[in-house]
Amino acid sequence: MAASFGSATKLTSISVIFLAIILSSLSNSCVSESTDPTPTPWPPQFHSITIMNNSGTHQIINLWYDYPNGRNFNIIQKKFDVGILTPDWLDGANYLGQQKVDGFLCNVWEKVDFIWYYEDVVTKRPVHWVFFTGMEAHLMTFEVGAVLEDEKWQAPVYCFESGEQADDSSQLNSVVDNSDLEDVFKRKMLIRR
């Protein structure tokens, strides 16, 4: 009887150890699924110079993002009707893995089959966006905390007039200074090679 009690104890000990190993591996596999990175929320205020590529047509866009004041200013030649995104607008995005883009190793997310968002693994700054239309955005700069002065948020008068656009580039130039942009663009393209 003592021998069967001892073997039963060994069998129970082995079963407990085996069960612990199985539970441990199951919990590790659950943990590894939840360790996918999450997109970094945008800072409350920033300035970014972005190159948009829409089927070979390139536009330079100055994006001024000011969430605390409820403002989002895209200085572009075409008007897009969009409201201001919340800093955490990527919550719930699907993580797709990592990909090298514009010389940066990026985490990639997709949101509602509308946008594919690329964020630098190291700095957590946005690098690249691809929209469902195929339009691409290459972020050339990303200045956290940069805020456009209140008086520069007003669009020029000609934006509200019908007919031909007035040539009032002096007002726009006071907001947009792309003097070093060509050098930045060339350096960024060299990184891609």
The DSSP code sequence of 132-192 is: TTS-EEEE---EET----GGGGSPPGGGGS-SSPP--HHHHHTT---TTHHHHHHHHHHHH
Look at residue 76 in the predicted model and tell me its pLDDT: 74
Which amino acid belongs to residue 152? K
The larger pLDDT score, comparing residue 41 to residue 21, is at 41
Per-residue pLDDT of 67-100, as tens digits, reads 999 988 887 755 444 567 889 989 999 999 999 9
Check: pTM over 0.75? Answer yes or no: no
Q: Where does the pLDDT of residue 163 fall: very low under 50, low under 70, confident under 90, or very high at 90 and above?
A: low
DSSP string, 151-164: GGGSPPGGGGS-SS
Q: Convert the pLDDT of each residue in 128-151 to its tens digit.
A: 999 988 889 888 889 899 988 888
CA 184 to each of CA 9, 25, 147, 180, 190: distance values in angstroms, whole numbers, following the listed order: 72, 48, 21, 6, 10
Residue-level pLDDT at 13: 44
Give the Cα separation of 52 and 57 in Å (integer). Answer: 8
**pLDDT grade for 169, boundaries at 50, 70 and 90:** very low
Instruction: Express as a percent the part of the chain with pLDDT over 70.
Output: 61
Segment 1-21 shows an average pLDDT of 47
The domain limits of the chain are: 1-35, 45-192
- For the chain, what is the radius of gyration of the CA atoms? 26
**Tokens 């021998």 belong to residue:** 3
Does domain 45-192 correspond to CATH entry 2.50.20?
A: yes
Pick the closest to residue 129 from 80, 168, 90, 84 (CA basis): 90
Percent of the chain at pLDDT above 90? 27
pLDDT score for 7? 47
Residue 127 has pLDDT above 60, yes or no: yes
Strand partners, 97: 108
In the chain, the N- to C-terminal Cα span, in Å, equals: 77
